[in-house]
Structure 1
Amino acid sequence: MRELVYYVAVSLDGYIADPRGGYDPFLIGGDHSRVVFDEYADALPGHVLDALGITPPRSRFDTVLMGWNTLTPALDAGIGSPYPHLRQIVASRRARTVSPDLAVTSEPLDLVRELKQEDGLDIWLCGGGALAGSLLPEIDRLVLKRHPLVFGAGIPLFDGVAFDARRFAPDSRREFASGVIVEEYARTRPE
């Protein structure tokens, strides 16, 4: 069965973006980038893949789910379809006009449950924190690129979650000279 994978950069204090939604302080270069380019190239935007001459491997993800605020920086840059190699779905509480390459849902939890029943590769939860909070019951795996910085405030990894303790078991941890640590966790299932 397909899994919902929350693959995201995060600060030491648990933020995926600054208070304005910016993520510029996250390290782009460094020895940790091999993980990004070798293992998670499906999660690179189309314009980045093109600039680097990389063909998306289509080996990890075939679908991306993102919140409206996660899509907005791409739209502001004139990129209406940031991941053209993936099935792109935007979660929004309001009706939105988007590129024909994107679908919009106001019911992401129900949609994820449907997507998981389909054949295919895993589903990448791209962000943001409020969407991740609403999808916590369906997140199967966390892949956190923990960067050696503190925002102090911003968009949390999970936002708007009423107390709902979910256990995830550590699966792997890789430390890089850049200071970035890539941590993977699998959701534990009740016995």
Structure 2
Amino acid sequence: MRHLVYYVAVSIDGFIAEPDGGYDPFLIEGDHNSVIFGEYADALPGHVQRAVGIQSTNTTFDTVIMGWNTLLPALDAGITSPYPHLRQVVASRRAREVDPAVELTNDPLATVRALRQEEGADIWLCGGGELAGALLPAIDRLVLKRHPVVFGSGIPLFGGVAFESRAFTRTVVREFSSGVAIEEYARTGS
């Protein structure tokens, strides 16, 4: 069975973006990029892959699910299909017009449960925090790119969730001279 993997950049204090959705404080250069451009190349947008001369293999991820607000920056830049190498699913509570290459869902938990039953590589939960909160019962793994910055406020790693405890076991921590640490966790129990 495929896994749902929440792979995301996060601040020391647990925010995936600034209050306005910005992510400029995250480090875009550094030795941590060897992992981002290597192991997680599937999670790079198509235009970034072209710019840096990388072609994804879709062996890590072949599907991405994201919230509407996560898609908005791409749309604002005129990019209607940011991950053309992946099956793209966008969660929204409202009907929206999307590129024909993008699927829209208003029931992300049911969609992920169905996707997990299909053959293929893992499913990447791209963001945002509110969607991650809604999908918490289905998240199998966390891959957190923890950056050495404090936001103070912003979009939390898991937003909009009534208290729900989920246990994860840390499986790997890789620290880089850039100050970024990539932490991996696996869901504990069922």
Corresponding residue of 2:185: 185
Query: Structure 2: how far apart are the matches of 1:25 and 1:160?
Result: 23
Superposition map of 1:71-110 within 5 A: 71-110=71-110
Distance in 2 between residues matched to 1:176 and 1:55, nearest whole Å: 24
Q: How does 1:37-186 map to 2 (within 5 A)?
A: 37-186=37-186
**Which residue identity is paired with 1:80?**
T
Structure 1 residue 53: deviation in Å? Answer: 1.4
Overall identity of the aligned pairs, in %: 71
* CA distance in structure 1 between the aligned counterparts of 2:57 and 2:37, rounded to whole angstroms: 10
| CA distance in structure 2 between the aligned counterparts of 1:144 and 1:74, rounded to whole angstroms | 22
**Aligned pairs, how many?**
190
TM-score, normalised relative to structure 1 = 0.99
Counterpart Cα distance in 1 of 2:55 and 2:19:
34
Q: Deviations over 1:118-176 (max 9, x none)?
A: 00000000000000000000000000000000000000000011111100001100100
Distance (Å, rounded) in 1 between the aligned partners of 2:35 and 2:57 = 14
Partner of 2:13: 13
Query: Which letter does structure 1 place at the counterpart of 2:165?
Result: A
Q: Which runs of 5+ in 1 are unaligned?
A: none
Distance of 1:172 and 1:26 partners within structure 2: 21
State the shift of 1:64 in Å.
0.2
Distance in 2 of aligned mates of 1:93 and 1:152: 28
Aligned-residue Cα RMSD (Å) equals 0.6
Cα distance in 1 for residues equivalent to 2:120 and 2:55: 19
Cα offset, 1:55, TM superposition: 1.1
Residues in 1 aligned to 2:56 and 2:39: alpha-carbon distance in whole angstroms: 11
What secondary structure does 1:132 align onto?
helix
**C-alpha distance in 2 between matches for 1:107 and 1:162:** 18
Q: In the aligned structure 2, how far is the partner of 1:176 from the partner of 1:53? A: 23
Secondary structure of the structure 2 residue equivalent to 1:39: coil
Q: Cα offset for 1:59?
A: 1.0
Query: Structure 1, residues 69-95: CA drift from partner, whole Å, max 9, x if none?
Result: 000000000000000000000000000
Could you say what secondary structure the match of 2:114 adopts? helix
Task: Give 4+ residue runs of structure 1 displaced > 6 Å after superposition.
Answer: none
Query: TM-score, with normalisation over the residues of structure 2?
Result: 0.99
Q: In 1, distance between residues paired with 2:123 and 2:103?
A: 14
User: SS of the residue aligned with 2:179?
Assistant: coil
Unaligned 5+ runs, structure 2: none
